[in-house]
Amino acid sequence: QQQVKQSPQSLIVQKGGISIINCAYENTAFDYFPWYQQFPGKGPALLIAIRPDVSEKKEGRFTISFNKSAKQFSLHIMDSQPGDSATYFCAASRGHKLIFGAGTRLAVHP
Amino acid sequence: GAGVSQTPSNKVTEKGKYVELRCDPISGHTALYWYRQSLGQGPEFLIYFQGTGAADDSGLPNDRFFAVRPEGSVSTLKIQRTERGDSAVYLCASSLVGGQDTQYFGPGTRLTVL
């Protein structure tokens, strides 16, 4: 059973554009929603995270929007740069066990 | 400071063989996790250690998989009688105190079972 569904699978954005990745979850007990960034040959690295008591969190060019009633959350990357080209994973947890989405491969073209 | 390190970076083995994968967590981190990442998928939880004990091993797929952390630092993931379906990247992560504390991932060990 896929508990966290992520879309799109791949995304191409022009430099300076906005990248948007969406995730939906099923388990209403989840209370922590991180986004991880992974470069080829590296492990995932935490980018930004949110808890369900807020609807939005912004850190620099990265923003998470959270819709508790719809059980959806999304990552927005403003002013996307070629260096942002990577695979992005959303995740959800209650406690220690992270449940990851399948990932979105982002390519930012110059 | 040093991050999570994993050895070997690549491991090729034959079906039926035994393999050991090693993880060195960030110094002082009490919690350690193993995940498995298949091609084109997100990491899948295997096991969580708090100190020396396995606090949650619910993600281990079957009894061919076993992990230890005897001194509360380095951990070894052991796979017996490997199968081609075990081929994946095995990721290790550590966190300072566990729970929902930030998990820091290592680069992974790419296991290929021929």
Q: How confident is residue B2, by pLDDT bands cut at 50, 70 and 90?
A: confident
Question: What is the CATH code for B5-11+24-101?
Answer: 2.60.40.10
**Total number of residues shown for chain A:** 110
Indicate whether A2 pLDDT > 70: no
Domain residue ranges in chain B: 5-11+24-101
| Residue range A57-73: mean pLDDT, rounded | 96
Identify all chain A residues contacting B46, using CB atoms and an 8 Å cutoff: none
Judged by CB atoms closer than 8 Å, whether chains meet at A97 and B48 is answered as yes
Neighbours of B38 (CB within 10 A): 13
The partner residues of A2 in beta bridges, in order of sequence, read none
Asked if the C-beta of B99 comes within 8 angstroms of chain A's C-beta atoms, the answer is: yes
Look at residue A71 and tell me whether its pLDDT is greater than 80: yes
For a pLDDT cut of 70, what percent of chain B falls above it?
99
Pick A102 or B100 by higher pLDDT: A102
Q: Which residue has the higher pLDDT, B1 or B104?
A: B104
**Chain A residues touching B107 at Cβ < 8 A:** 41-43
* Per-residue pLDDT tens over the stretch A34-43: 999 999 999 9
Domain A4-109 - what CATH class? mainly beta
Give A99's contacts (C-beta < 8 A, 6+ positions apart): A3, A4, A25, A27, A30, A91, A92, A93, B45
Q: Write out residues 45-74 of B within 8 Å (CB-CB) of A.
A: 45, 48, 55-56, 58-59
